[in-house]
Chains A and B, each alone.
Chain A
């Protein structure tokens, strides 16, 4: 489903800063892949390059979703194609109500896919049901997008958006950062509910603890812009026990 092949990227404003140096991986429908790695290894950059954020120049390689090349698409086209990025730092947007934002996003994607837009009533019913599962109250839906939200509320709001948009491929960028244990469990439950045979996940995380709750099928270790090792869930446990040092020494060897 998601095929990344030999992806190279550098900073647009400084071509000397090469961040991705040949990333390859393949996520099949129904699979959950985790990418782990130390700070600065290029994990978050990978998520930005996939979702189309400005500031990066792809110099080589490819990334396709269901056979369509993502890299030539505008960010909104990638979203309509089924890609979803759960942000590490969800952006605050004063003046835009969370509900308005969700409804505009859902209908924009439906329109792009040639589906009818949801009526106000249909939308409200859907969002209330999904919000309840994530323990997001009506008050939070009325407030401006992410403004004054706690870290946990912001991340739950990301998962709510994911649940509403029903993407094919979900990229979660450090979704566990800034969460306490209870909040992490709530977020993980939300993600697990969305696991499906036709949906893929790429879970980017620094720590193994999130993977206790979201069980990956494949774990990749990333370092200096490359995937240096891939394996099963046991790889994550190895990181937990021994840190990245040993694995990276091994990968470099």
Chain B
């Protein structure tokens, strides 16, 4: 057998082993069909394995093993719960299951919210045009079958439709009560033409989690997405953000990650209408047994769109950071403006940063740039601060926060950005 076919067989076998004896969840007609299709994708393409080019820097085994590893619950008592000080509609998941009692009423002017279970039971729900659709589309040119696994088996999730400018954010809060757990959550967000909303997410869903968020942003609409992934050290998870952007629409997505044995955040953005704008950003702080992977794929499928990727990682004590970022510019996407920067600050010689920036351009009149750097704290900056009286620890902290600032700047709401910055400062200070 040629190696490629052998790899494929290995992947398919792994998928079969995982799926054996596992029946699809109950649901209405359309969602059952979508789940069957997703399962078929997974069976055909197989599960990711370490030898996949797309998983070269991150071993997927912990995500694909039949059994999930436990993760000690992190005591978050040293700070106020994130987003609690903001006026928002709070929607709570406990160990990956929606908790209506702990949540606010699913009511907000200009926003319709229901659960995936409810939506799946209705034959004519709009969700059927989105559930698994962007995920399926995102399997080409690169397979992302952990997302197909999610589409096939997730029963939990929120279905959010934004029809006007929402007054306040929708905050999805994940709590863990169980050190064990293996959860899948699948959210759908549809922002109708001209509408605008902010979706916040906080916390790891479970000891192991697999998240999908499919987002459709219609013409002239805007979605802000700000996410923090909690501080549990031993958690492992993969998240997928699939977004389609209509003409003149905007997406801004920011993720803050601290700690975690393994986190892979995939962002797959499709600029489908002219003059769309997509910004994806991430700030990551890793210390010790930490592996964090940002994998981003932005497709410019229409002219005059703008995209921006800003990913910053601060790593030490053996922490590993990965960035795979691609900008694909279709032939029709003239006057594309694409930008990508990935940077790591390595605080000691044990930390590692692996970056794979890629551009693939088929249009002839575009502006695309990318950069990737890896470095230590600048000794001349450190001396300057110390010469002004800042103790060494304090000076380093200030420089670390300064390094992350460019990613935080991608958050549109300055109060949210400042809140996250202050939390990061406090975490770093306590661990200094």
> Which residues of A line the B interface, CB within 8 A?
51-54, 74-76, 78-80, 85, 87, 90-91, 93-96, 100-101, 104-105, 108-109, 112, 144, 161, 165
A76 CB to closest chain B CB (Å) equals: 5
What are 26 residue pairs bridging A and B, where the CB atoms are less than 8 Å apart in the complex? A54-B383, A76-B387, A76-B391, A76-B392, A78-B387, A79-B387, A80-B389, A85-B387, A91-B381, A93-B381, A93-B384, A94-B402, A95-B402, A95-B405, A95-B406, A96-B401, A96-B405, A100-B398, A101-B388, A104-B390, A104-B394, A105-B385, A105-B389, A109-B389, A144-B402, A165-B388
> Which residues of B line the A interface, CB within 8 A?
379-381, 383-392, 394-395, 398-399, 401-406
Residues in A neighbouring B384, C-beta threshold 8 A: 87, 90-91, 93
Residues in A neighbouring B389, C-beta threshold 8 A: 76, 79-80, 105, 108-109, 112, 165
A15 to B401, CA, bound (A): 37
B387 CB to closest chain A CB (Å) equals: 5
Residues in A neighbouring B388, C-beta threshold 8 A: 79, 101, 105, 108-109, 161, 165
Nearest B residue to A164, CB-CB: B388
Q: Tell whether A91 pairs with B392 under 8 Å between CB atoms, given A85-B387, A96-B398.
A: no
A212 CB to closest chain B CB (Å) equals: 28
A252 to B403, CA, bound (A): 50
Question: B-side binding surface: helix, strand, loop or mixed?
Answer: helix
A90 to B402, CA, bound (A): 17
A54 to B392, CA, bound (A): 13
B90 CB to closest chain A CB (Å) equals: 31
Nearest A residue to B402, CB-CB: A95
Residues in B neighbouring A87, C-beta threshold 8 A: 384, 387
When the two chains form the complex, which single residue of B380, B383, B391, B404 contacts A108, counting CB atoms closer than 8 Å?
Answer: B391
Residues in B neighbouring A80, C-beta threshold 8 A: 389
Nearest B residue to A53, CB-CB: B383
In the A-B complex, the 8 residue pairs with the closest CB atoms: A95-B402, A79-B389, A95-B405, A75-B386, A109-B389, A105-B388, A91-B384, A96-B402
Residues in A neighbouring B405, C-beta threshold 8 A: 94-96
B198 CB to closest chain A CB (Å) equals: 24
- Whether B402 contacts A51 by the Cβ 8 Å rule is no
A79 to B391, CA, bound (A): 10
When the two chains form the complex, which single residue of B381, B392, B403, B406 contacts A74, counting CB atoms closer than 8 Å?
Answer: B392
When the two chains form the complex, which single residue of B394, B402, B406 contacts A93, counting CB atoms closer than 8 Å?
Answer: B402
Q: Tell whether A75 pairs with B383 under 8 Å between CB atoms, given A95-B401, A161-B388, A165-B388.
A: yes
Nearest B residue to A80, CB-CB: B389
A15 to B188, CA, bound (A): 66
Residues in A neighbouring B386, C-beta threshold 8 A: 52, 74-76, 79
